[in-house]
Amino acid sequence: MECRSQIRRQRATWEWDSGYDEADVSHAELFGAAEIAGSYNLKASHRVAREVTRKQGYVWEAFENMAIQNGARLTKPRHAKGYEVDGLVDNAGEKFLLEIKTTVLASDVYTGVGQLHLYNKLIPSVKSAHKILLLPGTLGEEIKAAVSSTGIAVLAYDMRYQNDHLMITFPEETRLFFGFLPSKANLEEN
């Protein structure tokens, strides 16, 4: 028993005496990797193994392409302890904090609202950014108004499969909110 308690004490010492000042590290500006599109295999546990599409990665890539086409920059600031935002858009000095969800389920909306408010407190570089909850479709007016009342803009994107490929597009309302030009497809229709 004494050996186990010595190991626990040593682990606690390692955790608390890690050689850096936590206050200094929490204000360091760090960036995570871009979101990953594609798919991965979910191993069998209580069900059959299956391939899972990384939908959020496809949304991130499509948004990044749109941002680049409009002279904006999309990054992924993160905290030293691992908290990482889905995206921070900088368009000519105006900043937008993105939380991307791939469903409009209540649990995703609640989670996204909480994440946006927490990141604002945890990651210094996003404090002045407009908070955006980016969803695959629209919310009911009552929940949209409730989310908006917390200082979060609710914007949409369209996600659909076309010839076995996941296609992501952004409606004009979303594009214009970020100061982006209308899509070429919509310009050609007019």
DSSP secondary structure letters along 17-84: --SS-HHHHTT--EEPPPP--SEEEEPPSSS--EEEE-HHHHHHHHHHHHHHHTT-EEE-EE-TTS-B
Percent of the residues in the chain that have a pLDDT greater than 90, as a whole number: 58
Within-domain flag for 6 = no
- Torsion angle, CA of 156/160/165/168, rounded to 10 degrees? -20
DSSP state of 155: E
Output the domain CATH number for residue 152: 3.40.1350.10
What tokens were used for 22? 């936590």
Q: Which domain holds residue 146?
A: 55-189
Percent of the residues in the chain that have a pLDDT greater than 70, as a whole number: 78
How does the average pLDDT of the chain come out, rounded?
82
> Could you tell me the pLDDT band of residue 28, with boundaries at 50, 70 and 90?
low
| pLDDT, greater one: 91 or 11 | 91
Within-domain flag for 14 = no
pLDDT at site 135 = 98
pLDDT at site 33 = 75
Within-domain flag for 28 = no
What is the number of structural domains in the chain? 1
Within-domain flag for 11 = no
pLDDT at site 58 = 93
Within-domain flag for 144 = yes
The total number of residues shown for the chain amounts to 190
Q: What is the mean pLDDT of residues 80-90?
A: 92
> Could you tell me the pLDDT band of residue 87, with boundaries at 50, 70 and 90?
very high
> Could you tell me the pLDDT band of residue 189, with boundaries at 50, 70 and 90?
very low
Residue entry with tokens 């368009």:
91
Within-domain flag for 41 = no
